A and B are shown apart, each in its own frame.
Chain A
């Protein structure tokens, strides 16, 4: 992938994750150094996947464990969680807001793409298949709060053919 475009997407994701967590979840988060990894196994219990089409093709993946997901969704609602469905749905909405906000920042840099509704995967280690991206690298950004890694945001994408 074009290095400048790649860096723009990574920076937009870092900005949007920070803003979404600050505004909706009332939590100050910090990104750690991004790293590349092979394989597409879900890093945590609950994973939201949003597909990208247009000038970029691929997926943005947000993954967090159940315990943190419950805390994040509970903070967002300002209330107790009533069901597991709410936790999964809430992680989907967080994924949607992070990707949507990054999309807006990137549109202002003339990088335009469309996003899907989030697909949710429950189960750590589940494999995500993206046949048109076989061989592309996956870049992972860990995010921390209070000295602990709380979720991972990942970019698995290439320039449009």
Chain B
């Protein structure tokens, strides 16, 4: 089975590393592409190869919500599953993210198992 090509968008390099480690820990073979904010992610997003996007919300340059909207506006990228992984945990923020096109939402702190469940859910949908 081919490795999952995941675009990981977070301004923290430790968090990007932790996400990759967590995915491997729960059994996913991953081929990560790392981006430090929304602008960087749009440059690195190849619709032909990326299977999944995991994005933070609060980032400099372009935040996660603006990035998600751009991905959904583009006909080539609009169907790529997106999980938002963020410290923003209120119901209002959750609804705002879903309305912007996020498929699912995880709040930090998180466990690898929680990430696995969400990932299986969104990948099953796509």
Kindly report which residue of chain B lies nearest to residue A24, judged by CB atoms.
B109
Chain B interface residue count, CB cutoff 8 Å, equals: 22
Contact check, B59 vs A100: say whether CB atoms are below 8 A apart: no
Q: Which of B43-51, B68-76, B83-91, B118-126 contacts A (4 or more CB under 8 A)?
A: B83-91
Q: Which of B14, B59, B60, B86 contacts A89 (CB 8 A)?
A: B14
Is the CB of B13 closer than 8 A to any CB of chain A? Answer: yes
Chain B: interface secondary structure? loop
Kindly report which residue of chain B lies nearest to residue A85, judged by CB atoms.
B13
Contact check, B111 vs A96: say whether CB atoms are below 8 A apart: no
Kindly report which residue of chain B lies nearest to residue A104, judged by CB atoms.
B89
Which of B18, B59, B110 has the largest number of chain A CB atoms within 10 A? B18
Number of A-B contacts (CB under 8 A): 70
| Cα–Cα distance between A28 and B101 once the two chains are bound (Å) | 37
Contact check, B13 vs A89: say whether CB atoms are below 8 A apart: yes
Q: Mark A64-93, 1 if CB is under 8 A from B, else 0.
A: 000000000100111100000110011011
Contacts of A85 in B (CB 8 A): 13
Is the CB of B108 closer than 8 A to any CB of chain A? Answer: yes
Contacts of B109 in A (CB 8 A): 19-20, 23-24, 97, 101
Q: Which of B14, B58, B59, B88 contacts A104 (CB 8 A)?
A: B88
Kindly report which residue of chain A lies nearest to residue B88, judged by CB atoms.
A100
Is the CB of B21 closer than 8 A to any CB of chain A? Answer: yes
Contact check, B17 vs A77: say whether CB atoms are below 8 A apart: yes
Q: Can you add 11 more A-B contacts, CB < 8 Å, to A77-B21, A117-B59?
A: A24-B109, A73-B14, A89-B14, A90-B12, A90-B14, A96-B12, A96-B58, A96-B87, A100-B86, A101-B108, A107-B90
